[in-house]
Amino acid sequence: MLLVFSFPKFGHPAIAWIALTPLLVALTQRPSTSLRAGVSMLRAFLLGLVTGGIYLGGTLYWLSMVMQRYGSINIAGAVVINALFVAYLALYPAIFAAVMRRLAMAFGVAALAVAPFVWTATELGRMYVFTGFPWVLLGYSQATVLPVAQAASIVGVFGLSAIVVSVSAALAGIVVARAWRPAATVVAGVLLIAVWGNTRARNAQLTREGQPLRVGIVQPNTLEEERENTALAQKIFWRTISLAHDALVKGDVGLVVMPESSISPYTVDDYPDVAAALQKTARESNASLLVGSDQYQWHVVNGRREPEKSFNSAFMIRPDGTTGAVYRKIHLVPWGEYVPLKDWLTFVGPLVQAIGRGFDAGDELTLLPLGQHEISTAICYEIIYPDLVRRFVDEGSELLTTITNDSWFGATSAPYQHFEQAAMRAIEEGRYLVRSANTGISGIVDPYGHVLERSNIFDPEVLVGEVRLLKVRTPYSLVGDVFAYASAVLTIALLLMAWRSRLRTED
């Protein structure tokens, strides 16, 4: 429950620092004489599974609503499917608990010293296995605690998770073994990080470098019920264009960012009148437009033109009205844009039918031209993949943007969680981040995590603010998730040492 209340919109980042202490105490206390080896390991695994189930069920509760509303599944079925998904994700805290118990059996209370690395290793697994779902990693709880969050510029969100876990482990050491001196060392280390981070965020050197650019953000607040009504399509499109004009008239705006699928059900490629309106807007304002739009590859079947592939895409329209580049979304949303293992999961038939073939995944890191510069965009939940965003910067992106349609989530915790996770990318990469969300939260975040502009959810809004196009690289943008991979290697090495220690004991 402490993990649940470490995240928005109901939680507070301070709770995260003690959230894992109860579990770590349970895992490192000496068991009774009747509880040995295999039983002790099973107990640890189950404790971790329950922890993970409550943690992830409590923060991802909104998935049931999404599946019910957009998958045509009754609430009971949606809850069951969500429970199964959460049970899978809970395996990672369960593995953490089992590993920690095994290390505690081999090395005693000293195993608490490596808890931050073991936790980080399991979070890394959650990012990659079965395409990953790295939502609410523990480090994200500190996205608004800017003195601490600056550490992400060096070790990324995974390193931030490790820092948070270190305090829980230190407190567990006090409870189990009265280990005051190690705890004092950990607290002193965190305070040093916070002092350094506060100095970095206050100095904000990157906000005085690079080329300035005024950016407009469109938040049309188009509800899904409106988007599904084809009779309203033209009205919605012109409303979005009108908001873009509102941004452009606010003075010397060089880029307007519109949300994911902002002109749906129209597309840039297949509706000449729609494309012409966008091109005219760009030419008359001498500004670039970043437009979220579906994109289709067509083929002929039995004399009929049908889509062979469909992509969730972002089009960069230059000031002269031409299309500069198109980025196709690489990481698709499970249960939203595709059904994982849908050929096996026959019991989710209604959801499979509702999503249909879904979207196809793009496969290129396409940068978007902006005059003599290049920028990047992440579509929807792609922004929670730190390595994907880092690769864009590695290719030369000078500004991060993300476009999304969070109307699916309603007034749940998801839009707040999503915004804070996006903000973490700005700190990691040392880049400004511009976020356009259909129903909010839209905003601008500087390279230190300061939120310069921010909208409310479910309000039509136009935001305008200044960003800077930057080329300076943070340590994290250069080396990526080295800390996380090192944590995984260390965890495996310690398990091997524990296994050999057991063999020697048995001999």
249-282 per-position pLDDT tens digit = 988 999 999 999 999 889 999 999 999 999 999 9
Per annotation, catalytic residue among 123, 260, 398, 429: 260
Residues 6+ apart with CB under 8 A from 380: 260, 312, 329, 333, 402, 403, 404, 405
- Please give the residue that has the higher pLDDT: either 318 or 304: 318
Number of Cβ atoms within 10 Å of the Cβ of 14: 12
Given the residues 329, 374, 398, 453, select the one marked as catalytic. 329
- Average pLDDT for 178-201: 97
Where does the pLDDT of residue 339 fall: very low under 50, low under 70, confident under 90, or very high at 90 and above?
A: low
Calpha distance 480→485 (Å, rounded): 10
Q: Is the pLDDT of residue 32 over 60?
A: no
Q: Look at residue 170 and tell me whether its pLDDT is greater than 70.
A: yes
Q: What is the pLDDT of residue 348?
A: 53
Give the CA-trace dihedral at 434, 438, 441, 445, to 10 degrees.
Answer: 0
Give pairs for 480-486: CB < 8 Å, separation 24+: 480/156, 480/386, 480/387, 480/390, 481/124, 481/156, 481/158, 481/386, 481/387, 483/120, 483/155, 483/156, 483/158, 483/159, 483/162, 484/120, 484/121, 484/123, 484/124, 484/156, 484/158, 484/159, 485/124, 486/117
pLDDT digits (tens, 9 = 90+) for 132-148: 899 999 999 999 999 99
250 is a catalytic site residue? no
- pLDDT over 60 (residue 347): no
Q: List, in order, residues 6 or more apart from 25 with CB less than 8 Å away.
A: 172, 175, 176
What mean pLDDT comes out for the span 334-346? 60
Question: pTM for the full model?
Answer: 0.93
Q: Is 209 a catalytic site residue?
A: no
Averaged confidence pLDDT in the chain: 91
Q: Is 420 considered catalytic here?
A: no
CB-based contacts of 190-196 (< 8 A; 24+ apart in sequence): 190/148, 190/163, 190/166, 193/147, 193/148, 193/150, 193/151, 193/163, 194/147, 194/148, 195/147, 196/150
Summarize pLDDT for 64-107 with one digit per residue, the tens: 888 777 666 788 888 888 899 999 999 999 999 999 999 999 99
Domains of the chain: 4-204+481-506 (no CATH), 210-471 (3.60.110.10)
Residue range 371-406, pLDDT digits in tens? 999 999 999 989 999 999 999 999 999 999 999 999
Per-residue pLDDT, averaged over 186-199, amounts to 98
| Catalytic-labelled residue, pool 380, 398, 429, 453 | 380
Query: What percentage of the chain reaches a pLDDT higher than 90?
Result: 76
pLDDT at 97: 97
Q: What is the DSSP string of 55-120?
A: HHHHHSTHHHHHHHHHS---HHHHHHHHHHHHHHHHHHHHHHHHHHHHHHHHHGGGGGGGHHHHHH
Start-to-end C-alpha separation, the chain:
43
For residue 356, what pLDDT band results from cuts at 50, 70 and 90? Answer: very low
Whether the predicted pLDDT of 341 surpasses 80: no
Residue 355 has pLDDT above 50, yes or no: no
For residue 17, how many C-alpha atoms fall within 13 Å in the half-sphere facing its CB? 14
Is residue 359 within 8 A of residue 329, CB to CB? The reply is yes
Report the distance separating Cα 369 and Cα 76, nearest Å: 47
pLDDT of 408 strictly over 80: yes
- At 13, which helix (H) or strand (E)? none
